[in-house]
Amino acid sequence: MANHSATHPKHVHHHFVNSNQQFESAKLGMWVFLVNEILFFGGLFCAYIVFRAWYPELFTQAALELNTFWGAVNTVVLIGSSLTVAMAIRSAQNNQKRGLEINLLITIFLACVFLVIKYFEYEHKLHLGIAPGSFWNPTPEIAAVLDHPKANIFFGIYYMMTAVHGLHVIIGIALMVWLYLRARKGHFNSEYYTPVEITGLYWHLVDLIWIFLFPLLYLIE
């Protein structure tokens, strides 16, 4: 294997024949991982479907407690971040170091905005005693409107779905910060931008899952 260091570009690992094979492998690996993510969330969606089929009136009643306005704002924020991450990949492909950095920063900012809004939504609910599981203790005003005996289950599902999604957003932010630090060191160019591309794929999925969560939880009539 004597000549490998001489013929391989620096970013290509020793077991790949060339840069393209490495890029294709990384992308396929990410797609397989995304399939995995879909099934992971699929379990939660399945629980949602089962309980909604059993208690349809509970779901319409409980969904009124969720703030549609802020949910909609968050949807726009996340879709915007999907656009900027796509622009970041484009910049990397075109060797635009500055564009890559700026787009990554905007994406990180939008992801943080999403989490801040989510935090205030949670905070408001916990204040009203609409808390998950054994902490379920709604104030009398809420209990008067939300009189379904299984109301805690809707919010059990709500908290599980949004918290697991929120965790994915946090992981996405961490990845994006890592990309930004590497971008500043000039690691990415038109020859090598694999991490930017596959993180982008991941981010699109996180966005997409929210696009399903928003109507299923907030917009039930």
Q: What is the DSSP letter of 205?
A: H
**AA identity, residue 197:** E
Give the whole-angstrom CA distance, residue 220 versus residue 147: 18
Instruction: Count CA atoms closer than 13 A to 136's CA, side-chain side.
Output: 14
Q: What is the DSSP letter of 189?
A: B
For residue 67, what are the β-bridge partners?
Answer: none
| By CB under 8 A, residue 18 contacts another protein | yes
CB of 72 to another protein, least distance (A): 26
Give the nearer residue to another protein in terms of CB position, either 151 or 173: 151
Give the one residue of 111, 153, 176, 183 binding another protein; rule: CB under 8 A.
153
Give the whole-angstrom CA distance, residue 183 versus residue 114: 24
| By CB under 8 A, residue 152 contacts another protein | yes
Give the nearer residue to another protein in terms of CB position, either 32 or 144: 32
Q: Interface mask (CB under 8 A) for another protein, residues 121-150, using x and -?
A: -----------xxxx-------------xx
Which span (27-35, 66-74, 139-147, 213-221) binds another protein, by CB under 8 A?
27-35
Give the whole-angstrom CA distance, residue 159 versus residue 122: 9
| By CB under 8 A, residue 199 contacts another protein | no
| By CB under 8 A, residue 47 contacts another protein | yes
SS3 content of the chain, % helix, strand, coil (to 5): 80, 0, 20
Question: Can you read off the two tokens belonging to residue 76?
Answer: 């726009």
Binding site for another protein (CB under 8 A): 1-4, 6-9, 13-21, 23-25, 27-29, 32-33, 35-37, 39-44, 46-47, 50-51, 86, 89-90, 93, 132-135, 149-150, 152-153, 156-157, 159-160, 164, 190-192, 197, 200-201
